[in-house]
Chain A
Amino acid sequence: MTISIDPQKTNNESLQPKGWLRYFSFSLDHKVIGIQYLVCGFLFYLIGGTLASAIRIELASPMSDFMPRDVYNQVLTLHGTIMIFLWIVPVVNGAFGNYLIPFYVGARDMAFPRLNAVAFWLIPPSGLMLVASYFVEGAAQAGWTAYPPLSITTPQSGQIIWILSVLLLGGSSIFGGINFIATIIKLRRPGLKLMQLPMYCWAMLGTSLLVVLSTPVLAGTLILLSFDIIANTGFFNPVLGGNVVVYQHLFWFYSHPAVYIMVLPAFGLVSEILPVHARKPLFGYTTMVFSIMGIVVLGLVVWAHHMFTSGTPPWMRLFFTIATAFIAVPTGIKFFNWVATLWGGKISINSAMLFSCGFIINFVFGGITGVALAQVPFDIHVHDTYFVVAHFHYIVYGGTVFIIFSSIYHWFPKVIGKMLNEKLGILHFIITFIGFNLCFAPQHWLGLNGMPRRVAEYDPQFQFVNQISSLGALLMAISTIPFLINVFLSVRNGKNAGDNPWNALTPEWLTSSPPPVENWEGEAPLVEEPYGYGKEISEQK
């Protein structure tokens, strides 16, 4: 693929700021946009994390004593919305997708660079708007699910700003999805076959299909909800004959695939990281591709498992039980394949590897409770309790966020050209792993024994276990400190990394670190075996 040089573009480039200032510009370079996504997402992660700490402080005592009750509901709504729409989705898709996909397909940029920049620049204003809604009349307080009629009856300005913000973020996500599909399908370097692509491309292809198929449904639903709030229509308002259960179907038609939008890219990233540090080919490439696509298909037909205690007829409960439980099969294949990738390797125990292995252990745990939750009779007892809170944090934090950190340790030398400090990295892993499990493992017990989610006050018999959980949250908050110190120190005086410190074979490592503006000085290399570890040596012999 040759990119015709547009004279206007070259002019623009000379006008574009150089150095760190370019990260604040409307840059069209996919690498700059990727870093913009990552840093912006991380800042929102700090805000969302602060809100999480506020929740855990409130829950350290059984009374509602740390903040007013309606503020507590605003905090939990903002925590969920920020972590999902402003941290995990933009970072695993936007940040790593933008940075890596053009390298992996052998292109000089994404298919639609301007659309790409627009997609990113929608995020900061909508995020700021969401946070600022707190100072208007109070933020949204109906939870990130915004179930009507609660979302219709709570203060309107906060809810409307929440809807606008999520619509913009959904738009950004759709633009990104279209861009990734076009780039992976159409911008591949001549001679590069689909089945030779690194696994992250397949994960992003599957994820982007889910984004494009399901996000518009959320957008439509939220527009109808906003009509109910500001124009007194009755789509979901029971007083006017509306149906509240229909909203739940429409909402979860997006929001269950959203879970895969958050974890499939992480599955892709870990498939890039493990082979490099274990010095072994990725085990079972073909089955990995098929299991990603299996998850995409199944992921679209499982949404009603979020509604087992809602208004659902028995046949529907049964169908969604079986469909949901079967997602465990393709997911299980991937985990067995990753362990098989480790088996017999020559594993470097470094921060990237440790976070990836932490991911495997946490996610297997979250996956097992997920299969249990898929069973209607099991779910009826624990639905909407802390058991569910624990389960999905094992998936999105223990799973995806661990992989985000693993990826930062893995690709930092590529982006900056310097190494992160390994001792601080391992310290970061240890505190995060202990803090995370201390925070969320006890919550399973809380849910089983009678603590519902989204409460500011609870039965005093649960105080001790809640305090353990809050202690874990404190450790998680502390764990960001060595990470931030590490990043700041390493950007300034990190050890020089060279172009390919891990001796990796995927294409992004076959150029300089940091890479030049259009990725390669000459033509893009043709990488037919991105995981061909162990082969060169036998050939040399």
Chain B
Amino acid sequence: MLNKKIYLILIISLVFAISFWIGFNVNLLPAEASINAPIYDELFKILFIIGLIIFIGMTIAVIYSLFMFRKRNDQIGDGIALEGNLSLEIVWTIIPSIIVLLIGLYSYNIYDRMGGMKELNHNHEMMSSNTEKIWAGISQTSDNEIAINNLSIEVSAMQFAFLFNYPKGNFISGELHVPVDQKVSMRMESKDVIHAFWVPEFRIKQDIIPGQPTILNFTPTKVGKYPIICAELCGPYHGGMRASIIVEEESDYNEWFNKNKKPEVNL
């Protein structure tokens, strides 16, 4: 009996060890290029490890049962007439409940750190009243934080392209250029069907909906060129609906901005 308990403890600790090792050493995610990304990856790692422990544990239990309790040729009759075990069933109701609750609280914390729970707001001089109905996206800015020098971009999506309007420079670009380490605030609207704005390296996604503007704020942290991918089926060329986001040093960005800038037309 004691032997059995020792084996059980040994196997459980082995499962934990393997899961932790895989969780910390196997990277399944693309590069981290926004301040959201490391927060996301932290959540991913925790969920990955918990998931591995449960999956490996259950798989071992099933395979062990199939092997140990298989019917040998010389055996007749049934297994033990065990119809349940209340205390065991209570244990495996309460423990998963606690795990699920903790995961929920933790992911609330993660979501809050990503800015998901903040008041949605958007700083656009060109834009209208506060009464306009704006639907959620991730926001990393609160009322106070919104500074004038925040980069504001108007995104419009259509079959099968994204257009980025820089109101301050009075021009439209097919490529999204942003300076590194600065908050970017986007107001997005679709001209036809539903599209979605997804940058895997930033771990952000938001649908772009016709007739209903959505907001997405982010802060890139790494210079480079990343894909912008449409993630909502939008027609035959959905798979080809891609654009690029170019994160550059502020000086490079300013150079690009000034080159494209058009003089303001006073009406």
- A: which residues have CB within 8 A of B? 64, 68-70, 72-73, 141-143, 147, 149-150, 153-154, 238-239, 241-245, 278-287, 309-314, 317-318, 321-322, 325-326, 328-329, 332-333, 335-337, 339-340, 342-349, 353, 357, 360-361, 364-365, 368-369, 371-372, 375-378, 380-381, 383-385, 444-445, 448-450, 452-459, 531-538
Contact = CB atoms under 8 A, between A and B. Distances in A.
B107 interface: yes
A259 to B, nearest CB: 18
Contact of A314 (B62, B116, B192, B204): B116
Contact of A347 (B71, B100, B205, B214): B71
A345 B79 contact: yes
A64 B30 CA distance: 24
Interface string B20-48: 00000000111000000001100110010
B211 interface: yes
A449 B30 contact: yes
Given A280-B78, A339-B61, A383-B231, 4 more contacts: A287-B89, A313-B136, A336-B89, A533-B78
Q: Which 5 A-B pairs give the minimum distances between C-beta atoms?
A: A455-B239, A238-B211, A534-B81, A311-B135, A345-B79
A361 B59 contact: yes
SS class of chain A's interface: helix, strand, loop or mixed?
Answer: helix
Given A333-B93, A337-B89, A378-B44, A450 B229 contact: yes
Contacts of A310: 194, 207, 209
A456 B204 CA distance: 23
B44 A452 contact: no
Interface string B97-127: 1001001100110110010110010000000
B81 A538 contact: yes
20 contacts: A72-B236, A280-B78, A281-B81, A281-B82, A311-B207, A313-B135, A317-B111, A318-B117, A322-B104, A339-B61, A343-B69, A344-B79, A345-B80, A375-B43, A383-B231, A384-B205, A454-B239, A533-B79, A534-B77, A537-B78
A365 B78 contact: no
Given A309-B207, A314-B116, A454-B233, A329 B81 contact: no
B229 A452 contact: yes
Interface residues on B, range: 35 or more
A457 B193 contact: no
B209 A244 contact: yes
Contacts, number: 286
Given A333-B92, A377-B116, A457 B239 contact: yes
A429 B50 CA distance: 29
Interface stretch (B1-9, B164-172, B195-203, B256-264): B195-203
A346 B77 CA distance: 8
Given A245-B212, A364-B59, A284 B89 contact: yes
A112 B27 CA distance: 56
A154 B159 CA distance: 12
Contact of B212 (A311, A328, A357): A311
Contact of B40 (A361, A381, A532): A381
Contacts of B238: 73, 452, 454-456
Nearest to A327: B100
Interface in B209-251: 209-212, 214, 227, 229-240
A377 B110 contact: yes
A448 B28 contact: yes
B93 A329 contact: yes
A339 B62 contact: yes
Given A150-B235, A321-B107, A364-B54, A238 B65 contact: no
Contact of A377 (B100, B111, B196, B227): B111
Contacts of B40: 377-378, 381
Contacts of A345: 65, 69, 78-80
B203 A380 contact: yes
A279 B71 contact: yes
A381 B79 contact: no
Given A368-B55, A378-B107, A445-B28, A534 B80 contact: yes
A365 B51 CA distance: 8
Contact of B79 (A153, A278, A349, A454): A278
Contact of A328 (B96, B116, B138): B96
A150 B77 contact: no
Interface string B121-143: 00000000000000110100000
A280 B28 contact: no
